[in-house]
Every structure is written in structure tokens, then in C-alpha cells.
Chains A and B, each alone.
Chain A
């Protein structure tokens, strides 16, 4: 028996796998540790499917401390950030967070990230596997007056699920900004500073599962205490990376390095919403001005030759990254993420397919010589249940 996953060989210059602040905590709780993005991370505790269902019905605690947490500040920081991101910071108020993209000169995606306006600075969360490249890229493109600080003494926990709010409220976090919302009052994509006792936390109402929930930045030396306090709540169990992947796949959320790369652009990836309205205008009318703007604006106007879609597979055999999507005998695309959906109890996949076949109801996927029938469906596979402003409940 052996895993079919491709393993890249890194014969030279292998950096040592590092432990994160909660390493011993995961091991003590039975987490099975695997190497991921240069760190030891728990892939599962009791089992991926059970953890997946627990998160969809209660609340799951995820350690995502491998991700890069950055602070950006300095005179002219808005203009500096707008030169590297297709974002409109005039419309990102203090206490709010937004999804954005780091693009290269050809409009390819270098990383996807969250950027929060923290009043006297911006707080950015980038992917773990790309954080060192991101820092190098940002440092190269940001003026010297802009300070870029990696918060390498902070852990990052995500509390996700329909019962996340009631569990977190019980911890009694106090907003640093007296006029700011409590954690229960926050809506999707709010972000603010809180005190948990005398411990300063940066909390956003967001996540990567499609559920309501929070992402909580905590000083590393308080991470164990916070994880313990959260898991002491009856709604909360620790959840591994395996369920994080199946949850985000069902939620239709792309994973960098798989569904996004320098070879994919925001329009074909279905991430055109990350190109904020002001940045979409022509250069003559104040738009553009971000890396790859020419290509990105061209595709916004004229469409992209391929697009990221959801595929619902017949049968139980899963199609995984790299599987070829066919229309008859013609190759029309490739799967970038795929696996078994515990919620739908059937295999699902995300793929890039030629735009001209996106309306074809049934395609096939080539898996180990078999042709699996697949239906093109809108994303997400499982509806998002974010706590949006103005929504009922």
C-alpha cells in the first residue's frame, strides 16, 4: 500500500520542519502530526469525516499558526499597498477586513490574503507556504518608509461552525475600541482588537470553512491557554488539516498552490470580486495601477479563456488534483482540487475548464483509465452560512 500523492524531492537545502506553539498540545490530544508548509501540523484527531461533521454542526478549533501574520504601517501606507494589491482602501474602514490578491506583472496570483484595517496599521494574513516569498515581494515593492513586520511570536487559531459565536462569547473578550462590536455583535469580515483578561487578541469574523466563525491571533505564549479555554466549551473540538481541506472544498474556496498559482489569474479563478470597483476603471479614469492590471482588466472586459468550476461526480471514486477533464475525446480542463465530500456523501472537485464548455452539462474525468461522469455545478457545493450584516439570525 502506498500513497499516490506526488512527493516532490528536495534533495538539497532541506529546511528543518519546525514546531508551532501548539505542537505539544496537539500531540497530547491525539493529533496525528504531518509535515505541512515547513511545520508539523495535525492532519486529524478522531477522523476527518467526524471532524468535518462536527464543524458543520457545532464548532471546530483549527490551528493555522503556519500562516504568515504581518503588520504594515507607515506614512503613505494606503498608496503603497494599493500599488501591490488590486484593493480600494478608501472603502475599507477601520475594523473591517477584505480578501485580496498578490499579483505578478502578468496578472498571475502570487498569493491570496486577508487585509484588515486596524486603524493605526494594516494587519495581513498570508499563506504559510508562500509567506517568505510574499515578504520578499512586498519588501521589494513597498517604499522604505513602509514598515513590514512578521508577527512570528503570534499563533493563529480559527474557531469555525454554527456554534462558534456562542462558545467564543463565553470567554468574555472585551473590545479595545469601546465603540467597537463585541465578538457576538461582529458581522462577517469585521476585525478588531480585544482583551482576553490582559492578553491582546486580534479577532476577525471570517474563516475558511464556509461556516460562521472567527480567526484569532494570540501571542504564542498564551496560545495553549486560549486553545484550552476554547476546547473547554462543550461546542468545541480540535479539528485537523484534513477536515479543513474537505470543508473549504465544499465551500468552493480555492487553496493556494492547488487552485491558484502564478499560472492562474483572478478572472479565470472566479475571484474578480477581489479587483475592487475603483481599480477596474481604465487607467485614464483612475483605475488600474496594480501589478498585471493590463491583463486583468482585459480579461474583466473580454472574459477569460478558462474558468474555475465545481464538478459533481457520479459514483464514489474521487478525482484528484491533476486529473484530466474531457469532453468526448478532447481534453478541456484539469482538476485542481478534489475529494470526497462528507456533507454530500459523494466526490466533488474543482477544475479549470475551457470557458466554451462551461455550459456543457456533463463532462468526464479521466481517473486511472476510467471515465467518471461529472456535472458542472456552481460553487459553493455547500451554501455559505456567514454571519452577514443585516441577515436574519
Chain B
């Protein structure tokens, strides 16, 4: 299991190392803090095809709507059913219970170039 981060403040946790490789995606704790109170999350439907860097989800806060980009390409297998009634889970536990969707990766080589946790923390510090 390994967790990777994007410069757009998404995290992706990759499970297993034999095909099909699956992963869970969410936004980082830093991102939820920047967004403020989250009031609605529009999630990709199971079966949806995502491309690396493409808009996959929209997080509505009191302030604004923000796109969430898929860290890698693949197919959505599940989205977080708890967020329908409790979108605030993304605020309280962005990198745990507030996950957004699970997906099957199309090409694991797309993980190259994402940051590990230490690199992401350093990146956030630099902002």
C-alpha cells in the first residue's frame, strides 16, 4: 500500500501490486482547510472513466465550488456513500473517512511523478 499526492492537493492510496490495481482518492487535509466548510460533494458514478488530471468531482464549500482532478486514469468502482448526507466528513477526516472515490488504475506508470508524503508536506510548506 502506498499513498501519493498531487500538486492539486489530491491524495491517492494504491492497494495491492497485482492487476487490477485499485486505489482510493480524496483531497488532502490542507485542501479541506483551504476550502472551509464543505456543503456538498459531487462524485463520479461507478463505471465512469477518468483521465489523469481530468476533472472528476466537485467539492462545494460555502465559499465556492472547486474541481477535484483524478490523480491517474482509470475506472471508478465506487464512490463514498457517506458523503451524501455528511459532506462535512471531508472537513473532519479528509484523508480517511472523507475519501471521495475508489478506482481501478488504467496504467500504474501514471503514479510516477506524484509526490510521496514527505515531498507533499514540503510542497505545502512552500506555499
Q: Are A1 and B65 in contact (CB under 8 A)?
A: no
Question: Which residues in B have their C-beta under 8 angstroms from that of A49?
Answer: 37, 62
- CB of A368 within 8 A of chain B? yes
Contacts of A246 in B (CB 8 A): 62
Assess whether B52 is interfacial by the CB under 8 Å rule: no
Of B31, B36, B67, the contact of A242 (CB 8 Å cutoff): B36
Q: How far is the CA of A62 from the CA of B8 in the complex (A)?
A: 32
Whether the Cβ atoms of B27 and A318 lie closer than 8 Å is no
Q: Is B58 an interface residue (CB 8 A)?
A: yes
CB pair B62–A1 under 8 Å, yes or no, is: no
Task: Determine whether the beta carbon of B36 is less than 8 Å from that of A1.
Answer: no
Most buried by A among B31, B36, B68: B36
Residues of B within 8 A of A368 (CB): 42, 58
A31 to B36, CA, bound (A): 13
> Which chain A residues in 3-47 approach chain B with CB under 8 Å?
3-5, 43-44, 47
Contact between A316 and B62, CB atoms less than 8 A apart: no
Q: Is B63 a contact partner of A242 (Cβ separation < 8 A)?
A: yes
Q: With A48-B37, A318-B40 in contact, do A1 and B60 touch (Cβ < 8 Å)? A: no
For the residues of B in contact with A, the DSSP-based class is strand
The verdict on A47 contacting B65 (CB below 8 Å), with A317-B42, A368-B58 known, is no
Write the nearest CB–CB distance from B42 to chain A, whole angstroms.
6
Range of interface residues on chain B?
20 to 34
Residues of A within 8 A of B40 (CB): 315-318, 340, 347
A43 touches B63 (CB 8 A): yes
Does B42 contact A1, Cβ atoms closer than 8 Å?
no
B9 touches A342 (CB 8 A): no
Would you call A318 and B67 a contact (CB within 8 A)? no
Inter-chain contact A242/B62, CB cutoff 8 Å:
yes
Give the chain A neighbours of B59 by CB distance below 8 A: 1
Contacts A48-B63, A242-B63 hold; do A2 and B36 have CB atoms under 8 A apart?
no
CA distance A43 to B66 in the complex (A): 17
- B67 contacts A48, CB within 8 Å? no
B22 interface hit (Cβ, 8 Å): no
What residues on A are CB-neighbors of B8 within 8 Å? 1-2
Shortest beta-carbon distance from A255 to chain B in Å: 14
A241 nearest in chain B by CB position: B63
Q: Are B39 and A1 closer than 8 Å at their CB atoms?
A: no
B69: shortest Cβ distance to chain A, in Å?
7
A5 CA / B65 CA spacing, docked (Å): 7
Nearest-CB distance from B44 to chain A (Å)?
A: 12
Judge whether B63 and A4 touch: CB under 8 Å: no
Judge whether B9 and A1 touch: CB under 8 Å. yes
Is A192 interfacial (CB-CB < 8 Å)? Answer: no
Q: With both chains docked as a complex, state the minimum distance between the C-beta of B114 and any C-beta of chain A, in angstroms.
A: 14
Inter-subunit contact B62/A340 (CB<8 Å):
yes
Interface 1/0s, chain B 48-82, versus A by CB < 8 A?
00000000001111111111110000000000000
| Least Cβ–Cβ distance between B50 and chain A, in angstroms | 15
Q: Which residues of A contact B68 (CB under 8 A)?
A: 1
Q: In the docked arrangement, what's the CA distance between A3 and B58, Å?
A: 10
Task: Say how far B80's CB is from chain A's closest CB, in angstroms.
Answer: 15
Would you call A1 and B67 a contact (CB within 8 A)?
A: yes
Which B residues are in CB contact (< 8 Å) with A4?
58, 64-67
The closest CB in chain A to the CB of B31 belongs to A1
Considering the complex, give the chain A residue whose CB is closest to the CB of B62. Answer: A48
Interface contacts beyond A2-B66, A316-B60: sample of 5 additional A-B pairs, CB < 8 Å, sorted by A: A1-B27, A3-B66, A4-B65, A5-B64, A320-B65
**Residues of A at under 8 Å CB distance from B?**
1-5, 43-44, 47-49, 52, 242, 246, 315-318, 320, 339-340, 342, 347, 368
User: Can you pick out 25 interface pairs between chain A and chain B where the beta carbons lie within 8 Å of each other?
Assistant: A1-B8, A1-B10, A1-B27, A1-B68, A2-B8, A3-B66, A4-B64, A4-B65, A5-B64, A47-B37, A48-B37, A48-B63, A49-B62, A52-B62, A316-B40, A316-B87, A317-B40, A317-B60, A318-B39, A318-B40, A318-B65, A339-B63, A340-B39, A340-B40, A340-B60
Q: Which 3 A-B pairs have the closest CB atoms?
A: A340-B39, A316-B40, A48-B62
Chain B contact residues, CB within 8 Å of chain A: 8-10, 27, 31, 35-37, 39-40, 42, 58-69, 87
